[in-house]
Every structure is written in C-alpha cells, then in structure tokens.
Structure 1
C-alpha cells in the first residue's frame, strides 16, 4: 500500500511581499519547499521538451551562445507582446504545474510548501492543494522593497505590481495570512505558529 502523500500548503504573495523570507523560515524547520520559479527554469533547461517547444514557437534566436534560453531577452519580448506572453505561458505553465505536483506527491515530510507567486492567477489548476498561505504586505511596502531590491524606478515597480492579481484577490483565497508589514524578524513567531498548525493538520490527514 502506498504511503499517504504529504499535506500540501501553497504559499503565495505579491512581488516583494516577503515570500522568500517566509519560506526560508519553514525550510529551517525541515520543511521541503518546491518553488515555481525553480520549476520554471528546470522545465526549459537544455535538452528539455519545454525548451524545444519554445524554440519551435519563437525560433532559435531565443537561445544564448551556450544553447540555453536567453531569459532576459525572452522577458523583454513577452513584456511587450501579450500574444507572445500567452504562447510562452501555454508552453511553460503546464510543465511547471506537473513539476510541482510530482514533487509534492513524492514528498516524505509531514507537509510541504509550494511557493507559487502567480497562484491567484492560476488557482483553477491548483484545487488539489490542501491549504493556501498568503504573505501580505501593503503596496507601498512592496514598492519600496522592489525599488531597492531590483534597482528600478518607481513607475516600473508599479507596473510590475499592477500586472499581478490584486491584493484583495489573493487574500480572498487565503486560509492563512502572514502580515509582513515591518521588520523581517517579526516573521519568526508567525511561522512558528503556522508550523505547529500544519503539523496538526497533517496528522489529522494521515
């Protein structure tokens, strides 16, 4: 008989809301983190079906000199062209979802976290997760962090935030919310509380 799968918590939040700071704290407690951003790189690595499909769709000019996807050039292209963005997402998103589901299904911990920045935009494909955790921050805090982190100007930072789901949409999906409004150290207590909650929920599922 197969062992029951881990309890699965999907973690999301707006850009520069503090998702990485939260996932690091869960990881420090021995919880596996499966990150959609890592998956997105894995599914288009050289030799993959994903990269072959991108080259077939966009041409060999999307590759750099080493045969890898030129991610910066691809980002510029899809940022300026909605049809190109939809074509790229049609190739990568299903593969990312399969990557995440496969790893969640074979995880041996009491629970695992899926870090999915665009969960709200793709929630129909993630109905199988057990619980949703949203890392929330005010837009002004996101802006300040994004400008400092990426070295960009405020108008670009605002456009990046506006391209994502609205804060209210994410919060409407949440089973749990971590409010990341101040110092990063304040996240410790919130993560500790949720860790115990998820362990208890995982025991009831087992």
Structure 2
C-alpha cells in the first residue's frame, strides 16, 4: 500500500530527488521553485541545506510516496505565485485564481510501473486541497503514444493527469524532450 505524505523529512526527500554526488549542482527540484540566479548559485551542500529548510516550512515543498517506511516517490507542488511559473512566458495564466502548480513527479528506479505516479498526483491534489488551493495546475508532456525519456518525464504525461481528473485548459509554447507541454487543471474547491 502506497502512502503519500507531506515532504517534511529531508533525508527522505534526499533519497528520492537528491543528486548522487553531494557536490552536484543539479536536481533537488529547485529549478522551478526559486529564481534562476539563486538556483545557479546554490551548489553542493548549500543546495541540500536550502531544501532541508524548505522541509521545515509550512506548507511543505511537496509530497512523498512511501512503500512502508521507504520513500519511493516525490511530487513538487506549491502555489504558482511562489514559483517561477508565476513569471514564465511559455506557460500561460488562465485566470487570476490563486492556483497551485504541480510540476515534478519522480519515482525511484526499482519502484516504477506500480502506480506510484498516480498515487503522487492524487496525494499532491489532496495536499493542495488541505492547504485551501482552489485549483491545481500541471504542465505535462503531451506525448500521445510516443515513449518519453525517463530523465525528462518529470513533468508527467498528459494521460496520467487525465486519469486523475485534470482537463486541458490551454496550450503552452513550452516543450520538453521534444514533446509539447499542455496546461491541465483540476478544480478542487
């Protein structure tokens, strides 16, 4: 049974989205969360420390999926206004509602193909609902039946969001791994 909880335990977040090398300047799911100038200056341990602080804030920076006590997946979700999507020119604003953005879904190798991404989407929506979000937006790949490079599949794929009740609200001019991204929404309040 997969359990999805707010991402408040830094070591569990590190296990799912932390880079293999502690001196790395990638991942930790910061590229859409913080301004690019700050993202580019955070390196190695400073990057990890920044995410550890996020795990202590409320709301948490996302949700984690657990198989028993083992963290097996991550979804990044936050108010759009608190992310770089607030100013992103490629992802349109549909209206003035204080929407939450769900922009990254990661399932650890060895745990894929077990429905964890579906549990993460549902858990992220529940988390947003508990924090009074009226709408959740996602910007998944519209890949049809084509395969997606797993490294670039973090944005999710359209059919998984449709399965969770999201509907396409707008096209975007954003592409990822050669696939267009669409803006999908789910009204929750």
Shorter-chain TM-score bucket reads under 0.3
Q: Report 1 or 2 for greater relative contact order, CA contacts < 8 Å, sequence distance ≥ 6.
A: 1
Q: Which one has the largest radius of gyration?
A: 1
TM-score (norm 1): 0.26
Higher strand share: 2
TM-score (norm 2): 0.28
